[in-house]
Amino acid sequence: MHWTNPASSTGWPAPRIPRSSWICWVPNRLPDRPSSSLVQEVNIMKTLHFGAGNIGRGFIGKLLADASHQVTFADVNETLIDQLNHRQEYKVHVVGADQKLDVVRNVAAVSSAGHEVIARIITADLVTTAVGPNILDKIASTLAKGLQARFDAGNLTPLNVIACENMVRGTSHLKQEVLKYLPVAYHATLDACIGFVDSAVDRIVPPAAANDDPLEVTVESFSEWIVDQTQFKGELPQVAGMEPTDNLMAFVERKLFTLNTGHIVTAYLGKLRGYRTIREAIEDPLIRSKVRRAMEESGAVLVQRYGFDPRLHAAYIEKILARFANPYLVDEIDRVGRQPLRKLAAGDRLVKPLLGTLEYGLPSDHLQEGIAAALHYRNADDPQAVELQQLLAELGPAQALARITGLAADSDIVSAIVTRYGNLK
C-alpha cells in the first residue's frame, strides 16, 4: 500500500492538507480526485463510537471527547439516543483515592439501525466500539454498508476501526465479519485504506446507580487502553490514555490472566459464600488469598511466556486487588459472573491461563478451584447460567466440562477439577 497526498498530484492546486487527509492507493485503481468536502483541512477528529452504554460513555467515549474528538454514539436504544441528542453532554463520576466529577460535552447520537449511521461512517476519522463480544458480529453488516458507501463516495482517506471489547483480537474478528458482508470488489480497497486495530482495554465500569440522571456514569480512576500500532493506516490518533505498542498480545494476556481471571474467581467464590458485590467478596480474607494465588499462578505463565519482571507483576496483582476493594464502586457479582459458558471457553480468562500452566509445568490449584466454582454458578436471569446447570445435570461434571472447555474428559486436569467441584458443594 502507498499513501498519496492529493495536493502534490500534477495539475492540482496545492492547498495545505494534513497527512490524515491523504488518500490511499488501491492496486489497479487510480484514486479519484476527492471532492472538496473530503480534502478540506479540518482540525476536529470525527469519531463514531458503537455502544452508548456505561463503558462507551464512561471509558472510550470520555477519552476521545477529552482529546477534543467530535464523538457520535451509535446505539439501538432510542431513549438513550434522544437524551444524548437533547443534552449533548453527560456527567462522569471518577472515583478512587481522588474523586472528581467530569462533564463530557459536545456529543451526539444516532441509531445504529438507521441510515444516519451510514452517513457518519462515510466521513468518520475513527470508528470505535464497546458493545460486548456477543453484539460485535451484529454491527458488522452496518459497518460493511458504511464502508462501501464511503468508497463509493470517493473517500479513500485512511480510517481506523478499534473494537474495545473484552475479547482477544476482537477487531481482527470484526474485520472477518465485515468481509462477509462487503462485496469482494471492495476488499482490496478495504485492505489498503481501513485499519482494523486490535486493542486491550481495562476499566471497571459498574452499572449506574439509581438516580435522577439516566446519562450519569461512575467509573474507577484507573484505565488502560493499549492498541496495536502495527495495524494502523495513516497517522496514529493522538488520544491521551491510548497507548500504542508493537507487542499487543503480551498486554492482552496480562489483562486477561490478571484482571479478568482475578475478577471472575472473586465473583464465583463470592457467589458460593453468599456475597452480593465484588468488594464484599474480596474483603473476605479467605477469598482474597485464593484470588491472589490464582493470579500468581496465571502470572507465572506470563513471566515464562513474555519475560515479565516477577516483582513488577506482583505489584500489578496487588494494584488489581486494591481496585476490586474500591469502596466507591458497587460492582455486583452477577454482572461479573454472567455468561459462564463464554468465560469457561478455551480462549478465555479461566481455561487459557490453566492451559498455560500445563504448557510450562506450573502449579494451578487455585485456577482449578476457580473453574470448579464457576460450575456452581446459578443465576435464573442468565440464559448461559441456566444452560450450564442443564449440561451438568444431563452429562455429569466431567463430560460437561469437556464440552464447554475443550479439555479431554478423561484427562488428569479434568479429574482434578471435578474433585474440587464436588468438594465445594
Q: Quick one: how far is CA 80 from the chain centroid?
A: 21
Looking at the structure, tell me whether residues 218 and 350 fall in a common domain. no
At how many degrees (to 10) do helices 383-395 and 397-405 cross?
130
Looking at the structure, tell me whether residues 195 and 277 fall in a common domain. no
Residue 210 pLDDT level (bands cut at 50, 70, 90): low
Name the domain boundary from 185, 214, 245. 245
> Given the C-alpha cell 436504544, which residue does it identify?
77
How is residue 277 annotated by DSSP? Answer: B
The whole-number average pLDDT for the span 43-54 is: 94
Looking at the structure, tell me whether residues 226 and 287 fall in a common domain. no
Name the domain boundary from 225, 245, 265. 245
Binding residue ranges for NAD(+): 47-58
Looking at the structure, tell me whether residues 331 and 214 fall in a common domain. no
Asked if the model's pLDDT at residue 37 lies above 60, the reply is: no
**pLDDT, tens digit, for every residue of 122-157?**
999 999 999 999 899 999 999 999 999 999 999 999
Asked if the model's pLDDT at residue 164 lies above 50, the reply is: yes
Residue 247 pLDDT level (bands cut at 50, 70, 90): very high
Looking at the structure, tell me whether residues 64 and 150 fall in a common domain. yes
Which residue would you say has higher pLDDT here, 342 or 2? 342
- The CATH number of the domain holding residue 346 is 1.10.1040.10
The whole-number average pLDDT for the span 408-422 is: 98
Which residue would you say has higher pLDDT here, 1 or 24? 24
Residue 405 pLDDT level (bands cut at 50, 70, 90): very high
- pLDDT, the chain, mean: 91
The whole-number average pLDDT for the span 372-394 is: 99
Looking at the structure, tell me whether residues 239 and 260 fall in a common domain. no
Q: Which residues contact 203 (CB under 8 A, 6 or more apart)?
A: 55, 58, 59, 219, 220, 222, 223, 224
Name the domain boundary from 189, 223, 245. 245
- For residue 408, what are the domain limits? 249-423
pLDDT of residue 209: 65
pLDDT of residue 36: 44
HSE at residue 364, side-chain half, CA atoms within 13 A, is: 28
**pLDDT, tens digit, for every residue of 314-349?**
999 999 999 999 998 899 999 999 999 999 999 999
pLDDT of residue 23: 66
Its pTM stands at: 0.83
**pLDDT, tens digit, for every residue of 256-297?**
999 999 999 999 999 999 999 999 999 999 999 999 999 999
Residue 27 pLDDT level (bands cut at 50, 70, 90): low
Looking at the structure, tell me whether residues 222 and 271 fall in a common domain. no
Binding residue ranges: 47-58
Looking at the structure, tell me whether residues 285 and 167 fall in a common domain. no
Looking at the structure, tell me whether residues 142 and 73 fall in a common domain. yes
Which residue would you say has higher pLDDT here, 224 or 207? 224
Q: Tell me the three state secondary structure of residue 200.
A: strand
> Given the C-alpha cell 458480529, which residue does it identify?
137
* Strand duo 199-202 + 224-228: pairing: antiparallel
The whole-number average pLDDT for the span 171-184 is: 98
Asked if the model's pLDDT at residue 200 lies above 90, the reply is: yes
Q: Quick one: how far is CA 397 from the chain centroid?
A: 31
Residue 98 pLDDT level (bands cut at 50, 70, 90): confident
CB atoms within 10 A of CB 363: 12
- The CATH number of the domain holding residue 135 is 3.40.50.720
- Note the helical H segments in 203-260: 248-255
Looking at the structure, tell me whether residues 55 and 150 fall in a common domain. yes
